[in-house]
Structure 1
Amino acid sequence: MTTAKDIMHTGAHWIPAHETLDRAAQMMRDHKVGALPVSANGEQDRMVGIITDRDIVIKCVASGRDPSKVTAGELCDGTPRWIDATADVDAVLEEMQSHRIRRLPVVENKKLIGMISEADLALHLSDEQVAGWAEKVYSRS
């Protein structure tokens, strides 16, 4: 059985909720990623959300806000989604499809150990699985 841990990329990095969005953008650039899980201030084992490069552009910059003054925690909304490292690929796909998300943090023993992105799905799954995932995540309905 292929698990979330088998298809994730390792080295996911947290950003504390109190850090500013300009710092988040720098971290994304430095780590060559497009999303960061946001941790409760001082608690790297408690995820309060996830922010993406698109969130920074749409919810901050395009709205005329200053990314050096807006915090990562201010951009988080909704319930953070994640998957256990031992979950099988079908559970990964279901979680991502049902919540229409493109990136999914992977947790083991309550600790962040990696992230699953679209690229990881494309590398590790069949064309049919990726096509089915994309249809459900990107459809307008």
Structure 2
Amino acid sequence: MANKVRDIMSSDLATIPPQASLYDAARIMRDRDIGDVIVTEGETPKGVVTDRDIVVRCVAAGKDLEQERVADVCSPQLTTVSPDADQEEAVRLMRDKHVRRLPVVENDRVVGVISIGDLARQRDPRSALADISGARPNK
């Protein structure tokens, strides 16, 4: 059984600079069929913007997606994990910080992302969360 973060993380992640528009972030999410984009300056992670951030902090507030910047709505308190950390550490961080995704960082560079769904599929492949996380998206 894989037990390091690197064994189950996704290295196919999407990044966006903080000065990009929320419209750009939303298009990346739509095109890649993902729910979050890592905010980076160069290769250094600075935050995470989620589909929920866009809806709650922009759309529901009546703001313009093309005018609002990613930096204005992304989660600024970034919690990360090392690719060499045990998966239990990722679980603990998600639980303690109440997050569903963690950027995986090595040498101040984002190298992947691990989600609660990744962990569910690894730890209990027959669970409802594993089934949902592994299902094809609705289009």
For this structure pair, what is the TM-score category when the shorter chain's length is used for normalisation? 0.7 to 0.9
Q: Which residue of 2 aligns with 1:107?
A: 105
The answer to which structure has the higher strand fraction is 1
- Write out the 4+ residue segments of structure 1 that deviate beyond 6 Å after TM superposition: none
Corresponding residue SS for 1:86: coil
- Please state if 1:84 is matched with 2:82: yes
RMSD over aligned CA atoms reads 2.0
Query: Structure 1: which amino acid aligns with 2:42?
Result: Q
Q: Which residue of 1 aligns with 2:36?
A: 35
TM-score (norm 2): 0.83
What residue ranges of structure 1 are gaps of 5+ in the alignment?
Answer: 132-141
Q: Which residue of 2 aligns with 1:9?
A: 10
Distance in 2 separating the partners of 1:12 and 1:30: 13
Q: After superposition, what is the alpha-carbon deviation per residue over 1:37-58, rounded to whole angstroms, capped at 9, x for unaligned? A: 111xxx3222221010011001
Query: Structure 2: which amino acid aligns with 1:106?
Result: V
Q: Which residue of 2 aligns with 1:134?
A: none
Corresponding residue SS for 2:78: coil
Query: Structure 1: which amino acid aligns with 2:39?
Result: V
Deviation of the 1:106 alpha carbon: 0.8
Q: After superposition, what is the alpha-carbon deviation per residue over 1:20-71, rounded to whole angstroms, capped at 9, x for unaligned? A: 00000001111111001111xxx32222210100110011000000111000
Assess if the C-alpha contact under 8 Å between 1:37 and 1:51 holds in 2.
yes
Distance in 2 separating the partners of 1:58 and 1:8: 27
Q: Which residue of 2 aligns with 1:63?
A: 61
Give the fraction of aligned pairs with identical amino acids, expressed as a percent. Answer: 35
Distance in 1 separating the partners of 2:76 and 2:17: 17
Deviation of the 1:87 alpha carbon: 0.2
- Would you say how many aligned residue pairs link Structure 1 and Structure 2? 127
Q: Which residue of 2 aligns with 1:22?
A: 23
